[in-house]
């Protein structure tokens, strides 16, 4: 999927030694704060050069993982499903995401089952398929709640069981990109689940990444558009890619940009974890959320609903 409206959170309080939530968090050393800030700012600058609108949620003291906004919720059109973290130390984040979504005019939903947002919920490029990961941080049953909230005739919802602890969120091993391709790390799934992916995307549209690329979080990349000299290029931004994977992507007409995210890898996250798609109206930028002021908030909300129905 091509991201157009993106939420980020500055890694002001980011650290990795407080608790261990996944197998990447070896907790052997603190995060190098200035290096992590440099890497995050460099990602932001790269996104500034792309065709995206960036929004920010304020980092909160002691919430050391809040930089990983992907886990804050899942947005579909005007609906925002706020994360119900299974990771106990991250549970206090939910109320800040709730406030953000509510303030910005989304219809905001709390969930009862554990569901860690866009970390375990990814749309395919055409938005007709939503893939929900479970097995480590989100519940299989989250699917019922999610589909009750966002069911639509032309949206198919699939569950994917995650098998490997190093690939504990779906966005670490499965990455739908533009033109209906998907980067996948096959070893993170069993055969049955792998075939669910092949069946929908077609096997030739599934770009299988190597162990090396998977461990460098190639599947935790983002897909955006960039205008160079009047031409729009579909661009993949990620931590690091092998020459082989870069060539495969170039061949399929993607531009590739690397942004070192090594400090975030210490926590089991990378590029995609640091962004959350806010693509209401599928990124048609129907109106700018910054224009919402309290007085006309409800009016704007109604207006937006009306415009959705118009599509």
State the residues that interact with ligand ARG by CB under 6 A.
Answer: 21-22, 65, 68, 70-71, 87, 90, 119, 169, 171-172, 267-269, 273
- Smallest gap from residue 118 Cβ to ligand ARG (A): 7
Local structure of 221: helix, strand or coil: coil
Contact, 133 vs 160, CB < 8 A? yes
| Residue where the block lists tokens 């749309």 | 123
The residue sitting closest to ligand ARG, measured at its beta carbon, is 119
C-beta closer to ligand ARG: residue 117 or 178: 117
Query: C-beta of 285: minimal distance to ligand ARG in Å?
Result: 25
CB of 186 within 8 A of CB of 149?
Answer: no
Helix (H) or strand (E) holding 55: strand 53-56
Tokens read off for 28: 């052997």
Catalytic status, residue 50? no
Long-range contacts of 138-142 (CB under 8 A, 24+ apart): 138/86, 138/113, 138/114, 139/86, 139/113, 139/114, 139/115, 141/113, 142/111, 142/113, 142/114, 142/115
Q: In the bound complex, what is the minimum distance in angstroms from residue 288's beta carbon to ligand ARG?
A: 26
C-beta closer to ligand ARG: residue 10 or 285: 10
Closest CB to ligand ARG among 19 and 308? 19
Is 9 a catalytic site residue?
A: no
Q: Closer to ligand ARG by CB, 105 or 269: give it.
A: 269
Tokens of 205: 């549209």
Catalytic residue among 24, 125, 169, 181: 169
Give the residue with the Cβ less far from ligand ARG, 1 or 292.
Answer: 1
What minimum distance in Å lies between the beta carbon of 114 and ligand ARG? 12
Minimum CB separation of residue 228 from ligand ARG in Å reads 29
Active-site pick, 9, 219, 223, 273: 273
How many whole angstroms separate alpha carbon 303 and alpha carbon 137? 36
Which residues are catalytically annotated?
Answer: 169, 273
């Amino acid at each position: 999927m091509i991201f157009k409206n993106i939420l980020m959170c500055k890694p002001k309080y980011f650290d990795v030694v407080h608790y261990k939530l996944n197998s990447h968090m070896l907790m052997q050393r603190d995060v190098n704060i200035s290096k992590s800030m440099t890497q995050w700012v460099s990602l932001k600058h790269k996104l500034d050069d792309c065709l995206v609108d960036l929004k920010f949620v304020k980092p909160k003291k002691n919430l050391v993982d809040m930089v990983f906004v992907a886990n804050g919720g899942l947005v579909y059109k005007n609906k925002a499903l706020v994360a119900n973290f299974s990771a106990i130390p991250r549970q206090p984040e939910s109320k800040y995401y709730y406030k953000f979504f509510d303030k910005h005019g989304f219809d905001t939903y709390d969930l009862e089952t554990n569901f860690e947002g866009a970390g375990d919920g990814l749309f395919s490029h055409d938005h007709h398929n939503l893939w929900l990961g479970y097995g480590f941080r989100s519940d299989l049953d989250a699917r019922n709640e999610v589909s009750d909230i966002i069911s639509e005739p032309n949206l198919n919802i699939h569950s994917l069981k995650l098998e490997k602890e190093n690939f504990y969120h779906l966005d670490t091993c499965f990455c739908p990109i533009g033109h209906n391709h998907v980067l996948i790390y096959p070893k993170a799934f069993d055969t049955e689940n792998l075939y669910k992916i092949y069946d929908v995307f077609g096997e030739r549209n599934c770009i299988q990444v190597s162990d090396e690329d998977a461990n460098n979080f190639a599947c935790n990349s983002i897909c955006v558009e960039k205008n160079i000299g009047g031409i729009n290029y579909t661009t993949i931004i990620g931590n690091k890619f092998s020459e082989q994977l870069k060539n495969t992507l170039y061949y399929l007409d993607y531009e590739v940009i690397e942004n070192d995210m090594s400090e975030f890898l210490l926590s089991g996250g990378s590029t995609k974890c640091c962004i959350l798609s806010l693509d209401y109206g599928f990124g048609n930028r129907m109106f700018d959320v910054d224009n919402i002021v309290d007085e006309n908030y409800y009016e704007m909300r109604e207006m937006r609903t009306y415009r959705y129905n118009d599509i």
